[in-house]
Structure 1
Amino acid sequence: MSQTQHNTTDNKLIAYEVAGNGPPLLLLHGFPQTRAMWRPLVPKLAKRFTVMTADLRGYGQSSKPATIPEMSFRLMAQDMVSLMASLGFDQFHIVGHDRGARTAHRMALDHPESIKSLTVMDIVPTEYLLTHMTTEIAKAYYHWLFLAQPEPFPETLIGHDPDSYFERCLLGFGKASLTDFDADLLAEYRTAWRSPDCIRAMCHDYRAAIEIDWAHDRADLNRSVTCPALVLYGKDGAMANLLDVPATWADRLSNMQHAAIEGGHFFPDQSPKATADALMKFLTAL
């Protein structure tokens, strides 16, 4: 395991790790995880790439903003562009899962000159999800609406038993059991999500999605990401069961490949080898 390092961007401390050698590759986790989720994939990727894994602001060991505007995907994306520039990488490949994928998509829109390729994992575009919120989607992804409720309502309920709530999230978005998650990684997630500041920041993440990010994405509906892009999704995930995931990206990614991986929303945890293989196939072909 590589050593945790820290970088300050916009007065926010970003925790990250570096491994390997080669072209730069940044991996971003999602809710309710941390950069630790990538640990099973890093050894294979690090054989060909310099691999950075980072905690998004609000998560893991990074700073926990106290306000909603500070948790926008635009600012999360700027954190990571600044982090990579500080490490000497003005261009890099970006891979994101869940909230990390939404951050990566925003990064590709706001900083196209920095992104060599974009990989998003098990998401449909933020604007699409919110604009086409059906009863079925709302039931499967109820946490978008629950976590966005005014402070401190969700924070108070979650705070009574964070493990129970967040473990339910790990199991609730398509075919998964707790045994799918490495015990050491679960322990790290629990340490992070038991923090009241982390709980608040994660709620602000979802509040910002509706109050801030949705408008940013609507403003960019006529724009398409032009770099090579890969859409990966869990074969048995809630999104795959409810939507044609690649089709939701067709008018937003002009150079797109896509593939389904065995598992649900958290397929990188359930199928780390298949996930790493899919990434390597895509990235090395560029």
Structure 2
Amino acid sequence: MGLLIPGFDYRRVPVADGVSLNAAVAGSGSPLVLLHGFPQTHLMWRHVAADLAADHTVICPDLRGYGASDKPAADTDTDTDTDADTDSYIDSAAYSKRTMAADIVALARALGHDRFALAGHDRGALVAFRAGLDHPAAITHLACLDVLPTLDMWDVMRGTTAAVGFHLYLMAQPPGLPERMIAACPDDFFGHFLDLWAGDPGAIPAEVRTAYLDACRAAVPSIVADYRASAGVDVDHDRADRDAGRRLTMPLTVLQQDWGAALGYDAAAVWRAWADDLEHRTVGYGHFMAEEAPADIAKALRELLSR
């Protein structure tokens, strides 16, 4: 299984037909689920999880398609004119944030928690956002770290500033080319983001970086499917909710770098359009804030849970 969070018990938990998630669990008290981002695994929460387990039941899963969790291929009919093995391509519908959010609710229930707090970073924050909209009775508190809701993300990405998100456009392409390009040099591709986005490179030690790269190298098709879903079905779900006036009703904390200044939007205003009870903070850390400033992130989550 590779690197583990010390003191945590590891379990494989069935959450859907043919899909089980790898989850690290420790502590006692009110439950808190922590969802990782890209290009990482549950290990990104290792410091924060150990801190919070002192007074909470902390659950850190690998998302479907990532790490040691299952990577279902719902449909391998890609309709692409290629001689490549089509079994390496995955239907992005299997990786909609709605489906991935349902995984997390099922995981918590399987562990005995019908209601729980939920925090996500990056891709995990998109899953957490969707869980908050789709399962409001299950989510007591919500935190989203360094991300915008999918629909808003595409709205603000324009012009030359969108170059920072080149991977979003690459993995949005039809099945075939993105998978082959990334699989040709996976360590270079995924390592690029670990290097570029880290405010403090020392926060991701060599053995953790290796674990991330090993996990991503083994999950190229499912990672691409996750991102492809965010250029399709996830946008449809967000737009339907916006048109219907659906909002997050639980206390929400959002921590973000100051991307709004760079890309020309008001991040707090974007989130206020979705949330009734919002605490929005601009932070000075790099993207991997749970690893760069774990004490601050743990403190912010405790403050959220007290609301």
- Structure 1 residue 39 and structure 2 residue 46: aligned? yes
- Structure 1 residue 231 and structure 2 residue 254: aligned? yes
Q: TM-score, normalised by structure 2?
A: 0.87
Q: Is contact 1:234-1:266 (8 Å) kept?
A: no
Report the alpha carbon displacement of residue 9 of structure 1 after superposing the two structures with TM.
Answer: 1.6
Partner of 1:280: 302
Structure 1 stretches of 4+ with a deviation exceeding 6 A read none
Which of 264, 272, 275 is the equivalent residue of 1:250? 272
Report the alpha carbon displacement of residue 239 of structure 1 after superposing the two structures with TM.
Answer: 5.2
Report the alpha carbon displacement of residue 151 of structure 1 after superposing the two structures with TM.
Answer: 2.1
Partner of 2:142: 118
Deviations 1:86-113 (CA, angstroms, capped at 9, x unpaired)? 1110000000001100000100111000
Report the alpha carbon displacement of residue 263 of structure 1 after superposing the two structures with TM.
Answer: 1.4
- Structure 1 residue 146 and structure 2 residue 170: aligned? yes
Partners of 2:178 and 2:33 in 1: CA distance: 31
Report the alpha carbon displacement of residue 262 of structure 1 after superposing the two structures with TM.
Answer: 2.7
Report the alpha carbon displacement of residue 261 of structure 1 after superposing the two structures with TM.
Answer: 2.7
Partner of 1:191: 214
Partners of 1:260 and 1:44 in 2: CA distance: 23
Report the alpha carbon displacement of residue 136 of structure 1 after superposing the two structures with TM.
Answer: 4.1
Partner of 2:85: none
Partner of 1:64: 71
Partner of 1:7: 13
Partners of 1:281 and 1:184 in 2: CA distance: 32
Give secondary structure in 2 for the equivalent of 1:232: strand
Partner of 2:79: none
The Cα RMSD (Å) is 1.5
Report the alpha carbon displacement of residue 240 of structure 1 after superposing the two structures with TM.
Answer: 5.7
Partner of 1:209: 230
Shift in CA distance, 58/220, structure 1 to aligned 2, threshold 3 Å: same
Q: Is contact 1:123-1:239 (8 Å) kept?
A: no
Counterpart of 1:56, as a letter, is: L
Report the alpha carbon displacement of residue 266 of structure 1 after superposing the two structures with TM.
Answer: 1.6
Report the alpha carbon displacement of residue 137 of structure 1 after superposing the two structures with TM.
Answer: 4.3
Counterpart of 1:55, as a letter, is: D
Counterpart of 1:215, as a letter, is: D
Aligned pairs for 1:149-160 (under 5 A) are 149-160=173-184
Larger Rg: 2
Deviations 1:37-76 (CA, angstroms, capped at 9, x unpaired)? 0001112111121000001100001111222110100000
Partners of 1:54 and 1:276 in 2: CA distance: 18
Q: Is contact 2:200-2:286 (8 Å) kept?
A: no
Shift in CA distance, 56/137, structure 1 to aligned 2, threshold 3 Å: farther
Shift in CA distance, 276/182, structure 1 to aligned 2, threshold 3 Å: farther
Partners of 1:261 and 1:45 in 2: CA distance: 20
Which of 157, 168, 178 is the equivalent residue of 1:133? 157
Q: Is contact 2:20-2:70 (8 Å) kept?
A: yes
What is the number of equivalent residue pairs in this alignment? 280
Q: TM-score, normalised by structure 1?
A: 0.93
Partner of 1:168: 192
Partner of 1:266: 288
Partner of 2:110: 86
Percent identity, aligned pairs only, is 38
Deviations 1:227-255 (CA, angstroms, capped at 9, x unpaired)? 111011135xx456323322210110110
Partner of 1:218: 239
Partners of 1:90 and 1:250 in 2: CA distance: 27
Give secondary structure in 1 for the equivalent of 2:230: helix
Report the alpha carbon displacement of residue 132 of structure 1 after superposing the two structures with TM.
Answer: 3.2
Partners of 2:150 and 2:141 in 1: CA distance: 19
